Structure formats: structure tokens, C-alpha cells
Amino acid sequence: MAEGITFGEFIAKLRGRKGWYQRDLAAEVDRSEEWVSGVERDVIPVRKVEMLSLLGRVLGATLDELLAHAQPAAGASSSPRRKASSARLTSSPAAEEDDDVRRRELLAAAAAAVFTPIVGAQAAHASPAPLAPLEDLVLYGTSTIPGQREPSTETVRVSIMTARQEFRAARYDALAQALPGWIAAAQSVGSTEESARAVAALYNIAVRLCIKVGDNGLVAITSDRALTAARAGGDGLVTAEAQRMVSSAWRRQGHLSRATDIAVRAAHDLQGDDSVPETARLAAQGDLYATAAYTAAKMGDRNYAHALINEAADTARAAGRASGQVDGIQGVALHHLSVHYELGDSGQAIELARTVNPAALPTAERQARFFTDVARAFDQWGKPEQAFRALLAAEQAAPQEIQRGAVRDIATGLLRHDRSLPGVREFATRAGVQFG
């Protein structure tokens, strides 16, 4: 075995030899792309012989080879990524026990500030968003326009507003049912440009819904439809959002460098668009830079990721000042948390989480996303109790959010702590984890 190579690095190397993307390996072993990403970053351990054997079969390695690489990572403290992220918390040289005290104090403060107000609330039941109607629309062009009356410009405007509200409230099942009809109605109303702008706005929401549900095929198709319609509509803001969705689609297909470039170029293009009001332009640029930063972090490009997230923060602050608001960086903070996580800096992610008041986040979707990212950071740091508490908080904020693949992956890992985490198996069931 090669010296210094971790289990995750070994898996990534074998995958690379086959010319596969992470999605290809995920399909071969019936797991999500996020699960593969977690394994390759040595965040998600693989200890079951059945899964090790399956990985060996599809990647062309023996079980002995996989076990030889897996052994050094068997303990939570042995992960090189965790060691590095924990060490960065120490601002000055100190004894190991002092560092542990600091970490415990930080975790206690984070739990008190972030989780305590809602932990223990009754969990609501989630239901998966059925995407079959949307799939029928994009693949076969079939959908029924809702309502008894002919659609009008006003009803389309209301449908766009309602779609945004449903997404922000994380009511994904209702949104999945209604979106196809709203898109069909938008296609039939107004001038060519008006119709295109409305269709693009609705498809942008459809992309975000498909990302939540984890359907990468529909993410690719709906993002392409969004960008095509946006360009026909000629609205700079709608086009920028569609380009951000296309960037997300490329990222989810494993094309990380291209995905980063798409978002950065869109931000630069928007800079010169005089037709877009300053406040809206700055806000959209902040979103684009934040998206690019997250993708750069997934590539492991630490310097570029930090430069982009700082640019996003500066742009968002400028948007806040232009709009008369004190703070315009809430959304960027959530992306920054994800950047820390993707770079393996779990301690810094929790430090940042301490500065965020989840109750002040404007929508249920953002609140749940925040708690999910906090759970991922705690899980990466080897803190299962705090990770589970954060997942419960995410469920309380938005029950349907826990159907995401990221939540299922964390819940699957937490099942090994079933005896010390009462309720984790029931939570995993609600999140859609398949037992077998």
C-alpha cells in the first residue's frame, strides 16, 4: 500500500482510473453523489464488509486492498482532514488538553446559541416531492394548465410569486405538483419576450427544486430550459440566475472547474449590464460569487474559494448599503459555512455558525439549510450528538428538507450511535434512509 494515502484518496484514485465522475460511482453502488464525495474526503467511513466488497467489485480492487487503506481511518481522530481542521482552531501553541477544553467550550456555546431553542420540539413528518409531473413536462411537453379560466399575465405573475413563496417555505411537494401547470400557462401568455421571462423564472425555481430532491437528470434539463428562455426574454437578472443554475448543474455532474467559471463569468457580465438596478445587480453578483466559491471549495482550491467568498461578502454588503439595509450578507454566510465544510475546516464552520442567528434567517428553507450544514460540520468533526441535534433542528424548521441526500447520508452514519442517540433510527426512517 502507498504510504500516506487515505481510504478516500484510494477510492478517488481507483475511480479516476476508470474515467468515472462521482455520479458514476454513486450509481454503481446505489448511493448519492454526496455520499461518494464524503467517502473520498474521508468524512464518511465505510466499515461494512458488504459495501467494501461492492466497491472492490466495481472499482477493480480486492477486499484486502480496501481494508488495508481503511484501517488507518477506522477511528474518528485518525482522519487527516479532521486533524488539520481541528488544529486550525488553536490560535496559539498550547497543550492538547487545553485545545480540547477550547473545543468543548466552543461546542457548548454553539449548541446553546444555535440549537437549544428548538431541540426537543415534536418532529413533523416529511413527504418526498413527486417530480413525475415536471418530468412529463420537460420530456414530453405534457401538462395541464391549472384553473378554469384562460391564463393571463396577472395569473402568471401570481404563479411566479407563489412558486417563490412555496420554495422559501420548503413546501416542495406542493411546488412539484403546481410548477408544470404554471410553466405551461406562462408559455401561452404575453409577447414572446414576456412569456420567455416568465418561463425562465419558473424554470429557475424548478432547478432549485430538483436540486433539493436530488434528481441530477432533471437539474441538467431544467437549467438548460431556464437559460434558453432567459436569453430569449432579455432580462439580465433572470439570465444571471439561470446561469447560476447551469453552474449548479455542471457542478453536480462533476465538472467543477467549468461550473466555477460559468458563475464567475456571469458575475462579470452582469457588472456591465446597465439595465439592471444597482441593488439587484449587486445582490445577484453576490449569489454568483458565493456559488462559485462553494464549487471551488469542492475542487479543493482553498485560495480561490476564499477569494471568491470574500468577493461575495463584499458585493453583498454593497448591496445591503445600496438598499438601505444594515446587513446584506446572510445568504453569503450560509455559503461560507459550506465552503469551510468542503475544505475540511469543520471547526471554522462551527465558529461561523455561532455568529448566525437562525431565527433571523428570512425563510424556512434557509433555516433548514443552515442547520443541515451545521450538522454536516459536526459530523465531519466527529460530534454525533451535536450533528443529530442539528438535524432535528433542520426538521423542525422545514420537515421536507430532511429528504435531501445530504441529510440521509448523515443519518446513515449516525445509525451506528443508535444506543447513545435515542430517536436517530426513527429520524433516519423519516428522512428516507433505506434499511436492508
Mean pLDDT of 163-179: 93
Distance of alpha carbon 392 from alpha carbon 199, whole angstroms: 36
What does the pLDDT read at residue 436?
A: 59
Distance of alpha carbon 218 from alpha carbon 249, whole angstroms: 9
Q: Is the pTM of this model over 0.75?
A: no
What does the pLDDT read at residue 250?
A: 96
What does the pLDDT read at residue 38?
A: 82
Q: Is 93 left (phi over 0), alpha (psi -120 to 50) or beta?
A: beta
Distance of alpha carbon 331 from alpha carbon 319, whole angstroms: 12
Q: DSSP secondary-structure letter at 214?
A: T
Kindly report the backbone phi and psi dihedral angles of residue 166, in degrees, each rounded to the nearest multiple of 5, phi listed first.
-65, -40
Question: Per-domain residue ranges for the chain?
Answer: 7-74, 126-253
> Quick check: 145 pLDDT over 90?
no
**Do 288 and 248 contact (CB within 8 A), yes or no?**
no
Q: What does the CA dihedral 87, 91, 96, 101 come to, rounded to 10 degrees?
A: -110
C-alpha cell of 312? 461575495
**Do 391 and 427 contact (CB within 8 A), yes or no?**
yes
Q: Write out pLDDT tens, residues 306-324.
A: 999 999 999 988 887 766 5
Long-range contacts: 423-431, Cβ < 8 Å, 24+? 423/388, 423/392, 424/388, 427/123, 427/388, 427/391, 427/392, 427/395, 427/402, 430/123, 430/125, 430/126, 430/395, 430/402, 431/126, 431/391, 431/402, 431/403, 431/407
Q: For residue 146, which of 183, 174, 171, 172 has the smallest C-alpha distance? A: 183
Q: Any idea which of 57-61, 77-81, 87-91, 148-152 has the lowest mean pLDDT?
A: 87-91
Q: Write out pLDDT tens, residues 97-125.
A: 444 444 344 434 444 444 443 333 334 44
Compute how many other C-beta atoms are within 10 angstroms of the C-beta atom of residue 281: 24
The mean pLDDT of the chain is 82
Q: Which residue in the block uniquely carries the three cell numbers 466488497?
A: 53
C-alpha cell of 252? 453536480
Mean pLDDT of 136-142: 84
Question: What CATH number has the domain spanning 7-74?
Answer: 1.10.260.40
